[in-house]
Amino acid sequence: MILPWLEPLERLIEAGGIILLVIMAVATALFGLALERLWYVRITYRRARRRLIQRWVARSDHLSWSALTLREVWTRQLIARLRRPLPWLRLLVALCPLLGLLGTVTGMISVFDSLSMSETNQARAMADGVARATLPTLSGMAVAVVGLLFTSRLEHIIRRENQRLHDRLARALEDTNA
């Protein structure tokens, strides 16, 4: 017995095939990483940025080559932690349309296979099969578009935070010298 709230999901999988389950798994991983990054930026990164600024201000040497190099290393390490899941996000976004295409191809193969088994030309059956075969493409593209929007937004946030971090480090020194 299937739970009543799972019936629409079952009908969706029947309509689109097993590839829709794979697309759902990829979408879950993609949006899970997206939520984790939002949480990281809002909570963990801000604390780490604050600690880095405090550590920089606490140093006695701020102008020598080694001090500036150390500051650059610290900022790069912090920004690198922000960038860490970007390759995985890009991979999952690129995978979604390909999975959708795979679903369409396998769906079309099953449509043509079922048409070859029946001896009569059934335009209605073919139209239903084509509609069923294009559902994975639609799903894959929809997930990819939303994932692409998030990935580009995250890249924008990372560029902005990199600039803000450098600005705050410079301003922190001005505030302590004033």
> pTM of this prediction?
0.80
14 domain residue, yes or no: no
12 domain residue, yes or no: no
| Dihedral (CA of 82, 83, 85, 90) sign | positive
pLDDT block averages, 10 residues each, the chain of length 178: 75 80 93 93 92 89 87 93 93 95 86 71 70 87 95 94 89 70
Q: What was the pLDDT predicted at 141?
A: 95
Question: Where do runs of H (alpha helix) occur along the chain?
Answer: 7-16, 19-39, 46-58, 65-83, 86-117, 123-177
Token pair 């932690």 is at which residue? 81
7 domain residue, yes or no: no
53 domain residue, yes or no: yes
4 domain residue, yes or no: no
52 domain residue, yes or no: yes
Q: What was the pLDDT predicted at 143?
A: 96
Q: How far is CA 56 from CA 10, 48, 64, 73, 79, in A?
A: 56, 12, 13, 12, 16
Q: What was the pLDDT predicted at 1?
A: 55
In the chain, the number of structural domains is 1
Q: What was the pLDDT predicted at 79?
A: 94
44 domain residue, yes or no: yes
147 domain residue, yes or no: yes
Residues of the domain holding 128: 20-177
Q: What was the pLDDT predicted at 47?
A: 94
